[in-house]
A and B are shown apart, each in its own frame.
Chain A
Amino acid sequence: MKRRVAITGIGVVAPGEPGAKAFWERITSGSTATRPISFFDPAPYRSRVAAECDFDPVREGLSAQEVRRLDRAAQFAVVCAREALADAGLHDGDLAPERTGVSLGSAVGCTIKLEWEYAVVSDAGRLWEVDPAYAVPHLYDYFTPGSLAAEVAWVAGAEGPVTVVSAGCTSGLDAVGHGCELIGEGTADVVLAGGTDAPISPITVACFDAIMATSNHNDDPEHAMRPFDRTRNGFVLGEGAAVLVLEELEHARRRGARVLAEITGFANRSNAYHMTGLRSDGKEMAEAIRAALDRARLAPEEVGYVNAHGTGTKQNDRHETAAFKAALGAHAYDVPVSSIKSMLGHSLGAIGSIEIAACALAIEHGVVPPTANLREPDPELDLDYVPLTAREKRLDAVLTVGSGFGGFQSAMVLQRPGTAA
């Protein structure tokens, strides 16, 4: 019999207050978490806005050693993993270690630690042959971000397959997709899957400045990120994490776990076109969507909500609008499409997982989150982008997509428990 994948627990650290509850309240209220960058002086930068988490690691239960050792991205992941396990009703000793895995996405790993430790050993860039006397004990953990998955594995006691999936901005989707593969093929019964990134650091802000991908609506930080709006001019950098407990459906049923949703389809494709550019036809994203729906054995008309990539760049919003039309046909005009990045910013390799969490909660609550800041529709973008206000709607099947550097396009289908084929 085919092994099916259930989501039985969710942990989220999103901009604003941490926790899945605060996250869901924010994205259904339509209020944004974007604000002037507070982590460092943003004055020399073109884009000076970010979506920051109000995250106090001590208040979130991390030990002094964890606070010292862990990059902010690892701190987010550990806190999310603990919340997800508790949410799934799993306690120490409940999971068989060898049947438990981790698949964690991250686009840029431990960027904040890497940059600041670089600044120390290089004496603020003066030394090319950097000074080893100032290298901190866990420096290599920041260098190669497998450490992020290792920390989550330690939280869960996982001794099965453990990996980081680092595919740029689709990492959060691809890591969960990989977790589903591990369960589907029988390698694991439970996988903690998700994504984490904490990129609000001078080097990341400078990178996106250089290619003008981020918004410079610096004078209106709360409304800086405007997906699908005529006045959009790029994304706002965000941070955060989500970890899901993925569980083989029968395993979940046997222990009487609550099933939030099933993940029934996943696929990704590459555009083989450009590291950062997108063709306006959205062809490969459309193909990923078709393949994901095919695996879920769903017709396009059965999709009740589309969680868009919605980065608010000119090219992205055109690209995915075309992809939705190509993959869903006439139904693209009927189905609500929204971008929660309008409220949370773009947390690179984390956001795909945060959006999967949003989809699972949308199914559970029967609510479609809105696209904030969408006040002046772009005549070129003619779908229903759910402007400003959340909508109540029973959702049986939802689609979430991601698009990232390298030309990567990913799509995933989630379904209400009991409705999947």
Chain B
Amino acid sequence: MSAVVTGIGVLAPNGLGTEEFWSRTLDGVSGIGPITRFDASRYPVRFAGEVPGFTARDHLPGRLVPQTDRMTQLALTAADWALLDAAADPGDFGEYDMGVATAASAGGFEFGQKELQNLWRLGPRHVSAYQSFAWFYAVNAGQISIRNGLRGPMNINVAEQAGGLDAVAQARRMVRGDTPLVVTGAVDASLCPWGLVAQLPNGRLSTGDDPRTAYQPFAAGARGHLPGEGGAILVVEDAESARRRGAPHLYGEVAGYCSTFDPAPRTGRPPRLAAALRGALADAGIDAVDVDVVYADGAGVPELDLAEAEAIAEVFGRNGVPVTAPKSMTGRLNAGGAALDLAAALLSIRDGVIPPTAGVTGPDERYGLDLVTGARHVRVGAALIIARGYGGFNAAMVVRRCPPAAPRPARAAAVIQGEGT
């Protein structure tokens, strides 16, 4: 039984909607700019990937707006678009046949900061009745379920950025169980002063003073990453059931997945990222040579870039596979970023093109990476997506072109090597 992606909804700093995001991403148009959502002048980090031109009331019922944080508004809109793209009408499915599996790294923390301020400045009676369910980590899954009448199983993973892939893997589990359709992916955002300051002690955010070069994954001059908001919501379905109902798009199969965790500091044991990559390939039943592109985690922090480059080289060989990190155009969207990379990988399969790591003229030589710095047209049959979560979380996922409907191919490898449509 295979799980396929049939719908994509994107809200990204460089594009509202899948096609706008994708064309700008291929053109190397960045969504990074000065932080406008609050006065960042007192902070060492001045730039972020903000989703521009999004007004919640244009997309959602007015009553939902005061109850929800911005990240939930973005998530609900992305879910609407994904279900529309999949042409999936909840009314056509059985009562418990649609589930939700999302990820979060933070909750509705801008909403939460306002209510904390109300509590500490004005007292407990000034805390909104919505705070109890507007900020917590499960809010997007609950609201997506309620808005779309999804009454099947649910799950919410938290593993920072890696959670975005963990959620899609969970969606695949549900589909392999008894749930024909699952809304998955993630939208994350904590672009409020509290959310920014919480990240500063890590020393991983870039304090660069030029938005074009502040976040440069794998570049010799890399000096950290930038935060962002947004992500992607995906519809994952059982392939047979999607074909039966005539789903308009079969973007690709969620073919392989593995997650691992790095050993505790000072244990002397080796990191576990390469094991996640190998595990995802094994789970998909393919070899490294079958992978046409790797979407890298691309932390933009030299020691993290090096660790990732070493893991990629260990599995694919030095300069062994095209590698890209289009998140240089969006900033790191945490769980949403992994889901967005997954969406981009599926579009790479659809259109036969690898988007650039815009803003990077060339990788640091010592990494041994074939880093894609200008859109590269090449047939993509299978893509590997890497996501690391702060604290030691590693996840890797393989997506590949959907096999033709019938007759069923004898070997999966034949599909990957075969001529596409």
A interface residues (Cβ-Cβ under 8 A, vs B):
44-46, 97-98, 101-102, 107-109, 115, 118-119, 121-122, 124-126, 128-132, 135-147, 149-150, 153-154, 157-168, 171, 174, 178, 181, 185, 202-203, 205-211, 213, 267-276, 284, 287, 404-408
A163-B159 contact in complex given A119-B120, A144-B105, C-beta closer than 8 Å:
yes
Contacts of B198 in A (CB 8 A): 135, 139-140, 142-143
A405 near B260 with CB under 8 A, answer no
Determine the distance from Cα of A230 to Cα of B127 in the docked complex, in whole angstroms: 30
A272-B149 contact in complex given A109-B137, A166-B136, C-beta closer than 8 Å:
yes
A203-B153 contact in complex given A144-B160, A276-B133, A406-B133, C-beta closer than 8 Å:
no
18 inter-chain pairs at a CB distance below 8 angstroms, sorted by A residue, are A102-B261, A108-B136, A118-B116, A118-B120, A121-B197, A125-B118, A128-B38, A130-B194, A135-B198, A146-B393, A161-B259, A162-B259, A163-B158, A166-B158, A270-B146, A272-B151, A275-B142, A406-B141
Contacts of B38 in A (CB 8 A): 128-129
B156 near A166 with CB under 8 A, answer yes
Determine the distance from Cα of A168 to Cα of B317 in the docked complex, in whole angstroms: 43
In the assembled complex, how far is the CB of residue B119 from the closest CB belonging to chain A, in whole angstroms?
A: 5
A164 near B131 with CB under 8 A, answer no
CB within 8 A of B124: which of A44, A139, A166, A272? A44
B121 near A273 with CB under 8 A, answer no
Determine the distance from Cα of A124 to Cα of B106 in the docked complex, in whole angstroms: 22
Residues of B within 8 Å of A, CB-based: how many? 85
B261 near A165 with CB under 8 A, answer no
Contacts of B120 in A (CB 8 A): 118-119, 122, 124-125
A268 near B136 with CB under 8 A, answer no
CB within 8 A of B132: which of A44, A124, A210? A210
Determine the distance from Cα of A167 to Cα of B138 in the docked complex, in whole angstroms: 5
Of A45, A98, A140, the most chain B CB neighbours within 10 A belong to A140
B199 at the interface (CB under 8 A from A): yes
Other than A137-B201, A165-B156, give 18 A-B pairs with Cβ distance below 8 A: A97-B263, A119-B120, A122-B117, A125-B116, A125-B121, A143-B190, A146-B105, A150-B391, A153-B264, A157-B263, A165-B158, A166-B138, A166-B158, A206-B119, A206-B124, A211-B129, A272-B146, A406-B138
Contacts of B202 in A (CB 8 A): 140
Of A131, A163, A165, A267, the most chain B CB neighbours within 10 A belong to A163
B63 at the interface (CB under 8 A from A): no
Contacts of B151 in A (CB 8 A): 269-272, 284
B193 near A130 with CB under 8 A, answer yes
B391 near A167 with CB under 8 A, answer no
In the assembled complex, how far is the CB of residue A68 from the closest CB belonging to chain B, in whole angstroms?
A: 14
CB within 8 A of B392: which of A44, A153, A185, A272? A153
In the assembled complex, how far is the CB of residue A239 from the closest CB belonging to chain B, in whole angstroms?
A: 16
**B118 closest partner in A (C-beta):** A125
**B194 closest partner in A (C-beta):** A130
Determine the distance from Cα of A107 to Cα of B393 in the docked complex, in whole angstroms: 20
A167-B156 contact in complex given A143-B195, A270-B145, C-beta closer than 8 Å:
yes
B193 near A158 with CB under 8 A, answer no
**A44 closest partner in B (C-beta):** B124
In the assembled complex, how far is the CB of residue A131 from the closest CB belonging to chain B, in whole angstroms?
A: 8
Determine the distance from Cα of A202 to Cα of B126 in the docked complex, in whole angstroms: 12
Determine the distance from Cα of A138 to Cα of B123 in the docked complex, in whole angstroms: 28
A154 near B264 with CB under 8 A, answer yes
CB within 8 A of A203: which of B121, B127, B200? B127
A275-B146 contact in complex given A124-B121, A139-B198, A166-B136, C-beta closer than 8 Å:
yes
Determine the distance from Cα of A141 to Cα of B333 in the docked complex, in whole angstroms: 17
B127 near A210 with CB under 8 A, answer yes
Chain B 54-90, CB-CB to A under 8 Å as 1, else 0, gives 0000000000000100000000000000000000000
Interface residue ranges of B359-407 to A (CB < 8 Å): 389-393
A272-B145 contact in complex given A138-B201, A141-B391, A161-B261, C-beta closer than 8 Å:
yes
Contacts of A167 in B (CB 8 A): 138, 141, 154-156
Contacts of A125 in B (CB 8 A): 116-122
Determine the distance from Cα of A171 to Cα of B120 in the docked complex, in whole angstroms: 28
**A147 closest partner in B (C-beta):** B391
A205 near B154 with CB under 8 A, answer no
